[in-house]
């Protein structure tokens, strides 16, 4: 079974090597938990693997998307100019079928991100939502491997529109920003991963400038590293030093981070 590396440091080990090819994978979480950064890392990995990448939003213009990428130290303007990355903002008020959004993602073996999917589903009538989402997921799977972000409703709010895309997705990853102390202030859990084994525990993760999301689990023997050439804050470098020493990051991942920043 072909797997697609997620680009999230430490996640592939939790889902047996990555997302299953030609599937729809949902990232569920509240505002501020890192869903958009997760999406950027997923696209970056694809671009570095010479895959066409597509980012679709209902809020962000291209300039806003690039501003978020630059805040992480990632320069993606050239990737857009080269045609490896397409960024589009769309509104779908009635149906996915024959919409400009669907025309935008027509292709094969692409990495596709829809960030966030919730406004799209909320615009549909409840009675039609499941059929519409099912049809769109089929289209996404035919075009490549897709990642969608879904807003988790706050406690006490109605959130039925969230259920349909999660039920129909092949994989669901939940991000939480719980705020119960530094060690577990952010947690990641794989709720389901069809057609492939996955670990069921809750794992702490962090978000670092220039790096993105890092699942804080030991994956190799610790090693020493020189990070003096990286254009990062001292606090970020200190965390990276610790992640290397504790075996949370691998030597080849440090080289990947370096290539993206220098």
Here the CATH number for the domain that contains residue 149 is: 3.40.50.300
Instruction: Enter the pTM of the model.
Output: 0.94
pLDDT in tens, 98-140: 678 888 988 899 999 999 888 878 777 766 788 889 999 999 9
- 64 and 13 part of one domain: yes
- Return the exposure string of 28-39: e unless at least 16 CB atoms fall within 10 Å of the residue's CB, then b: bbeeebbbbbbb
- 157 and 244 part of one domain: no
The boundaries of the domain holding residue 189 are 3-217
pLDDT in tens, 165-189: 999 999 999 999 876 655 568 999 9
| Structural domains of the chain, count | 2
- 154 and 82 part of one domain: yes
- 242 and 207 part of one domain: no
Q: How many helices (H) and strands (E) does the chain have?
A: 9, 11
pLDDT at residue 228 tops 90: yes
The model's confidence at residue 158, banded by pLDDT at 50, 70 and 90, is very low
């Amino acid at each position: 079974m072909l797997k697609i590396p997620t680009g999230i440091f430490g996640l592939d080990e939790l889902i047996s090597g990555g997302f299953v090819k030609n599937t729809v994978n949902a990232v569920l979480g509240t505002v501020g938990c890192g869903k958009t950064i997760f999406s950027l890392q997923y696209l970056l990995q694809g671009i570095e693997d010479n895959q066409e990448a597509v980012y679709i939003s209902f809020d962000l213009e291209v300039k806003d998307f690039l501003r978020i990428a630059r805040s992480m130290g990632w320069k993606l303007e050239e990737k857009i100019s080269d045609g490896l990355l397409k960024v589009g903002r769309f509104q779908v008020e009635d149906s996915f079928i024959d919409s400009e959004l669907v025309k935008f993602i027509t292709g094969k073996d692409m990495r596709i991100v829809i960030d966030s999917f919730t406004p799209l589903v909320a615009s549909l009538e409840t009675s039609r939502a499941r059929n519409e989402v099912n049809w769109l997921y089929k289209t996404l799977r035919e075009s490549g491997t897709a990642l969608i972000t879904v807003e988790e409703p706050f406690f006490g709010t109605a959130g039925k529109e969230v259920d349909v895309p999660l039920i129909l997705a092949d994989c669901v990853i939940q991000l939480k920003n719980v705020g119960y102390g530094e060690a577990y202030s952010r947690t990641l859990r794989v709720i389901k991963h069809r057609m492939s084994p996955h670990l069921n525990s809750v794992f702490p993760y962090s978000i670092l400038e220039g790096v993105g999301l890092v699942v804080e689990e030991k994956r190799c023997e610790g090693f020493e590293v020189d990070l003096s050439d990286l254009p990062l804050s001292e606090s970020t470098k200190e965390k990276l030093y610790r992640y290397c020493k504790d075996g949370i990051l691998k030597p080849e991942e440090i080289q990947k981070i370096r290539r993206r920043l220098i």
